[in-house]
Amino acid sequence: MNEKVQRYIRELFSNDPEVMANPTCYIYDLAEISERIREIQRYKLANVSLYYAMKANPNLTVLEHVLAHDEIAGIEIASIGELEKVRKAGLKEDSRVLFTGPGKTPKELEEAVRSKIRFINVESVVEAIRINEIAKRLNIAKVNILLRVNINYYLDGASEYMAGMSTKMGIDQSRFYDDYKIISELEHINICGFHVFAADGVLDYEILIRYADEVFKFVQEAEKVVGNVDVIDFGGGFGIDYTKAGRHFDTKTYFEELGKTLKKYSFEGKEIILELGKFIVGSAGYYVTQIVDIKDCKGMKHIVTAGGVNHMRLPIATDRKHPVYIIEMGVPNLYEGQIEVSNETVDIEGPLCMTEDKISWNEPIEHARIGDIVVLTQSGAYCFSASTLWFLSHEMPLEIVIK
CATH of the domain at 253: 3.20.20.10
CATH of the domain at 394: 2.40.37.10
384 within 8 A of 59, measured Cβ to Cβ = yes
243 shares a domain with 95 = yes
47 shares a domain with 12 = no
Residues of the chain above pLDDT 90, percent: 92
| Biggest CA pair distance of the chain | 79
112 shares a domain with 192 = yes
301 shares a domain with 334 = yes
Residue 257: other Cβ atoms inside 10 A: 18
37 shares a domain with 119 = yes
Q: How many domains does the chain have?
A: 2
Spatial separation of the C-alpha atoms in residues 151 and 110, rounded to whole Å: 28
Spatial separation of the C-alpha atoms in residues 164 and 198, rounded to whole Å: 7
Q: Pick from 231, 260, 282: which residue ends a domain?
A: 282
Q: In this predicted structure, what is the pLDDT of residue 157?
A: 58
**pLDDT tens readout for residues 146-197:** 999 998 866 665 455 455 557 777 899 899 999 999 999 999 999 999 999 8
228 shares a domain with 344 = no
Spatial separation of the C-alpha atoms in residues 17 and 65, rounded to whole Å: 26
349 within 8 A of 310, measured Cβ to Cβ = no
Q: In this predicted structure, what is the pLDDT of residue 38?
A: 97
239 shares a domain with 122 = yes
Q: What is the pLDDT along the chain (403 residues), one digit of tens a residue?
A: 889 999 999 999 999 999 999 999 999 999 999 999 999 999 999 999 999 999 999 999 999 999 999 999 999 999 999 999 999 999 999 999 999 999 999 999 999 999 999 999 999 999 999 999 999 999 999 999 999 999 886 666 545 545 555 777 789 989 999 999 999 999 999 999 999 988 778 999 999 999 999 999 999 999 999 999 999 999 999 999 999 998 999 999 999 999 999 999 999 999 999 999 999 999 999 999 999 999 999 999 999 999 999 999 999 999 999 999 999 999 999 999 999 999 999 999 999 999 999 999 999 999 999 999 999 999 999 999 999 999 999 999 999 999 8
83 shares a domain with 201 = yes
**pLDDT tens readout for residues 218-264:** 999 999 999 999 999 999 999 999 999 989 999 999 999 999 999 99
Please give the torsion angle defined by the CA atoms of residues 126, 128, 132 and 134, in that order, rounded to the nearest 10 degrees: 70
Q: Pick from 267, 282, 297: which residue ends a domain?
A: 282
pTM of the model: 0.95
267 shares a domain with 336 = no
Q: Pick from 224, 254, 282: which residue ends a domain?
A: 282
100 within 8 A of 275, measured Cβ to Cβ = yes
197 shares a domain with 181 = yes
Torsion sign across C-alpha atoms 173, 112, 34, 401: negative
297 shares a domain with 368 = yes
113 shares a domain with 225 = yes
316 within 8 A of 335, measured Cβ to Cβ = no
Name the residue range of residue 8's domain: 3-27+283-402
Residue 256 one-letter amino acid:
E
